[in-house]
Amino acid sequence: MPSPVRPRVPDPEPFALSAVEVRLRVQDFLRETQKSRSPETVGTYRRSLNEFERWLARRSGPFRFVHEEVEAYKAYLAKERGLHDVSVSTYLTALRRFCQFLVDLGALSANPAATVKGNRRPGTHSRSALTQDEIGRLTGSLGIDSQIDRRDRAMVFLMLFAGLSEIEIVRADLADLEQTLMGWYLRVQGKGHTAKDQQVPVDPPVMDAIRLYLDTRGRIRPEDPLFVSHGHRSEGDRLNTRSVRSRVGDLLRRARVKRAGISPHSLTHTAALIWLGDGMPLDEVRRRMRHGTLDTTMIYLKHQSQYTAAVDTPAA
């Protein structure tokens, strides 16, 4: 006898949440993420998922956690919002982390965002680098007459010749400076890190600039910030990233090297080009820049022509 035909069992409905339910789960995700991620990373996730929530609020019905729905969100970011490829990738990464949080809780059987790739990131940096001539003009314009002059000079040297970022400068404490048989190092907490778990070599000219500044500080303790404010109302307070960016931006304008594409963060990019121009091995440049892969460091090879170019910079 033929086997009886079994009725088809319908596929289970995909997991879905309303906009209100998503907001509550996102709050749980952010609270959990705070335990293992830096405040900057948590802030990025929060801003990115705010956009996801705004998108949900415009829709009718709950969000079904399936590949097609995530693709629809990606299309919204790129086409309706007109976001840059890097921003789209950042927003999708936050959603991917949120979905994985739901998987870990057992609410989802699989991460629907895992198979939705972000838009391809550019193969070059969006910020320009300083040329050799501009480096000379910038460093030649840095004074040492006042305490603020010496502080700003030391910050520029750390960015330009040690590859530090603004946030790494802000987080640095005096205790992070360490002298070894191989020379001086600065322990740093990079973007996305929760501890000062990386070491940056501090070459003698940079260390000399730091010492010149610290000599003006009088009695200092290991737990004190490496760079502090010297304003009347904020004397001794740790600098913030806005202050560092503003001071370095003013120095770029004063040296007449501020042009399209040049920002304070350009100094950090320029450090890699200086090292490559001096013949430093690519793997050592990768280590100093604290890149995860050699591919990231190789992007700087494309900028070598910027570093050696002659640029006639107009007055800012």
- The domain of 25 spans 16-105
Asked if residue 140 and residue 97 are part of one domain, the reply reads no
State the total domains in the chain. 2
Asked if residue 141 and residue 91 are part of one domain, the reply reads no
Distance from C-alpha of 155 to C-alpha of 228, rounded to nearest angstrom: 11
160, with CB counted inside 10 A (0-12, 13-18, 19+), is buried
How do residues 161-173 score in pLDDT, each as one tens digit?
999 999 999 999 9
Q: Residue 277 has what pLDDT?
A: 87
pTM for the full model? 0.61
CA atoms within 13 A on the CB side of 205: 9
Bridge partner residues of 16 (DSSP): 64
Asked if residue 215 and residue 78 are part of one domain, the reply reads no
How do residues 242-278 score in pLDDT, each as one tens digit?
999 999 999 999 999 998 888 898 999 899 999 988 8
CATH number of the domain at 267, please: 1.10.443.10
Contacts of 212 (CB under 8 A, 6+ apart): 144, 150, 153, 154
CATH number of the domain at 27, please: 1.10.150
Residue 63 lies in a domain: yes
Asked if residue 83 and residue 46 are part of one domain, the reply reads yes
Q: Residue 316 has what pLDDT?
A: 36
Helix (H) or strand (E) holding 186: strand 183-188
Asked if residue 97 and residue 188 are part of one domain, the reply reads no
Distance from C-alpha of 267 to C-alpha of 22, rounded to nearest angstrom: 41
Least confident of 23-32, 118-127, 263-272, 291-300: 118-127
Asked if residue 232 and residue 156 are part of one domain, the reply reads yes
Rounded alpha-carbon distances, angstroms, from residue 195 to 37, 163, 238:
10, 18, 18
